[in-house]
Structure 1
Amino acid sequence: MHLRQLRYFVAIARQRHFARAAEECGVSQPTLSAGLSALEADLGHRLVERDRRFAGLTSHGEAILPWAEQILGAVGSMASTLSASAAPLGGEFSLMAIPAAQSLTGRFGEALLRRNPGLSLSVRSATSREIDRALHAFECDAGLTYLDHEPPANTLSIALDAERYLFVTRADGIDAAVTEASWQMIVSTPLCLLHQSMQFRRILDARMAALGTSIVPRAVADSYVVLLDMVRSGRFSTIIPHSYGELLQGLDWARFLPVADEGDARRIGLVVMNRSPLSAVVQAGLSAARDLVSEQV
């Protein structure tokens, strides 16, 4: 068994397509197929169902996939730790962030790169469930996500913010004397919201249920940019995290109102897998997060 064969297998499982997996691994499709066949021969079990195309993992393939991911992740962490022991930390820090936490990426990235000028930062948007899967599969170094609602399992975390709601509506569609949005006002307004695959929306729906009501939006999206553009059109209002309001203050067409009786603030922070030992790159991320916390005190 060779590491390259495990890389081929993990790439096939992730891409679910032989040509795309071969492209990811930088080899030809026949080379990838031959490596997979050799791995199956070594293990004595078929791992991938295939005819002329990928048809899924076998039960044996599903069983060994987490082990293959852990082996490759451990080898990568070992290599980065060895490099860090001889020179300043370099390479890429891979961060995944839920939309509600993306307004924190700038501050985190600045703290990380200030400490580690040899690093580069790669940020990807993801749902909380995608972050959980990616952390366990060694596909990212850290995530920015909710810490108290559906948190990833077996993680270390550092809280960076306590989210509050802002109601966003057209400035010319609301009395200037109104300084706070009640839930009664919100539910009576045509709304556009994140769809229910997004954790922000599921938490919001749970708050509505606790208050004995519900929100039925007229439109849904997976991007705050889309929601804000819908508000700008004049037909809709929306609800966003307060951190976005800080970025958007000064827009002459929008009003940002705090929400009355919104419940407890929701903690958002950095999460990494609780593995021993932690890689040098992951330790750098935790140190940057701690810097942010100390700056807020």
Structure 2
Amino acid sequence: MLQKLEMFIAVANEEHFGRAAASLGITQPTLSSGIKQLEDQLGVQLVIRGSRYGGLTPEGQSALVWARRIVGDARQLREEMRYKRHGLAGRLRIAVIPTALTWAAQITARFSEKHPKVRFTILSRPSAEILTMLENLDVDAGISYLDNEPMGRVSSEALYTERYMLVCSPTSPFAGQRSVDWAALEGQKLCLLTPDMQNRRIINANFAEAGIAPEALIESNSTVVLVAHVQTGGWVTVLPSDIAAFLSGGKDLEAIPLTGTQSEHAVGLVAPYREPHTPVLDALLAEARRMSEIPR
């Protein structure tokens, strides 16, 4: 039944039989047959079928909660047994907000030194998508904001507090200044992250607190794209200090602290709430706790 539950979860996540089958590496007829067998075993219809996927039935919605719990428990059991045989091993999938990718590198590097048998897959994703991926069992952990928008029921370890920098070229009127007030960005040629990114919503809130409403003429979901535009000399961007230092390092760019009224937000490691965690995830949370720059 476990395999059929995984098929059911894939269909619910993808909302498409063909994509679900592809995600599992099986044919669509095999997937459809597996879902039908699961329905026969449970004695209820789970999926509304027509010429295409039509959603889950009410029974299917209830079954999805149980399916995720059962599959999650089964994966935890496998991890527990692998740990008893081989120590910490396997693959951890981590989704990370774009502005925290440098921290993802730090934590995985430190963790790999202690546990070289653990491999990582790191994905850059918006904060809202990270929560969905955790719920759908698509990733094992995330690095995201902890205190700006609802997180749901998760385990978390705070890593750092996000502070913001203006990134500009040496030809910018801001070049050489020790700090720049948020209000001074009114009317500037801004390139910023897209509005679906929580970082952009935080930046917009800081603009509002400063009494301005500047317009971003260029928006991107990539911090690299933003810094590339700044390098042309005509643009400025706002980024958290850590990623700003990383992307401007070795380039003819300046990263200048922003001052004035501003909100700061904690970023940390998050994982689905489960007691106990798998040994490898428990060790990752402990590593984040050791790395934290936020006093406990």
Q: 1:42 to 1:279 in 2, by over 3 A?
A: same
Aligned to 2:226, what secondary structure does the other structure show? Answer: helix
Q: Does 1:187 align with 2:153?
A: no
Aligned pairs for 1:123-202 (under 5 A) are 123-174=122-173, 176-202=175-201
In structure 1, what is the Cα distance between the partners aligned to 2:273 and 2:23? Answer: 28
SS of match in other structure, 1:70: helix
* Per-residue deviation, residues 210-265 of structure 1 (Å, max 9, x unmatched): 33332321121111011111212233211011001321344443221110115243
The Cα of 1:125 is off from its aligned counterpart by 1.1
Q: Does structure 2 retain, via aligned residues, the 8 Å contact 1:191–1:237?
A: yes
Under a length normalisation based on structure 2, what TM-score does the superposition of the two structures give?
0.92
Q: Distance in 1 between matches of 2:180 and 2:174?
A: 11
> Post-superposition shift, 1:63?
2.8
Structure 1 residues 118 and 177, CA, compared in 2 at 3 Å: closer, same or farther? closer
More deviation, 50-59/112-121: 50-59
Query: Is the contact between residue 182 and residue 206 of structure 2 (CA under 8 Å) also seen in structure 1?
Result: no
Question: Does residue 259 in structure 1 map to residue 254 in structure 2?
Answer: no
Determine the structure 2 residue equivalent to 1:45: 44
**1:112 Cα deviation from its structure 2 partner:** 1.5
2: CA distance, partners of 1:88 / 1:262: 49
In 2, Cα distance between the equivalents of 1:90 and 1:245? Answer: 33
Contact 2:209 2:261 in 1 (8 A): no
Task: Assess, with a 3 A threshold, how the Cα gap between structure 1 residues 57 and 113 changes in structure 2: closer, same or farther.
Answer: same
Alignment length, in residue pairs? 296
2:292 partner SS: helix
Q: Structure 2: which 5+ runs fail to align?
A: none
Distance 1:250 1:75, change over 3 A: closer
Instruction: Find the aligned partners of 1:20 and 1:151 in 2 and give their Cα distance.
Output: 29
Aligned equivalents of 2:23, 2:176: Cα separation in 1:
57
Cα distance in 2 for residues equivalent to 1:39 and 1:138: 20
> How far apart, CA to CA, are the structure 2 residues paired with 1:175 and 1:205?
20
Give the Cα–Cα distance (whole angstroms) in 2 for the partners of residues 130 and 252 of structure 1.
Answer: 32
TM-score (norm 1): 0.92
CA contact (8 A) 2:94 2:120 kept: yes
Query: How far 1:277 moved relative to its partner?
Result: 1.7
1:57 paired residue number: 56
Residue 293 of structure 1: how far off its partner (Å): 3.2
Contact 1:66-1:137 within 8 A present in 2 as well: no
1:236 maps to 235
CA RMSD for the aligned pairs? Answer: 2.2
Residue type of the alignment partner of 2:7: Y
Q: In the alignment, residue 114 of structure 1 is paired with which amino acid? A: E
Distance 1:122 1:85 in 2: 23
Distance (Å, rounded) in 2 between the aligned partners of 1:201 and 1:61? 36
Match of 2:205 in 1: 206
Tell me the distance in 1 between the aligned counterparts of 2:174 and 2:235: 16
2:75 match: 76
Runs of 4+ with >6 A deviation: none
Q: CA deviation at 1:116?
A: 1.2
Q: 1:86 to 1:251 in 2, by over 3 A?
A: closer
Contact 2:47 2:60 in 1 (8 A): yes
For the residues of structure 1 that align with 2:189 and 2:183, how far apart are their CA atoms? 12
Q: What pairs up with 1:25-36 in 2 under 5 angstroms?
A: 25-36=24-35
Q: Which amino acid aligns with 1:101?
A: A
Determine helix, strand or coil for the equivalent of 1:259: strand
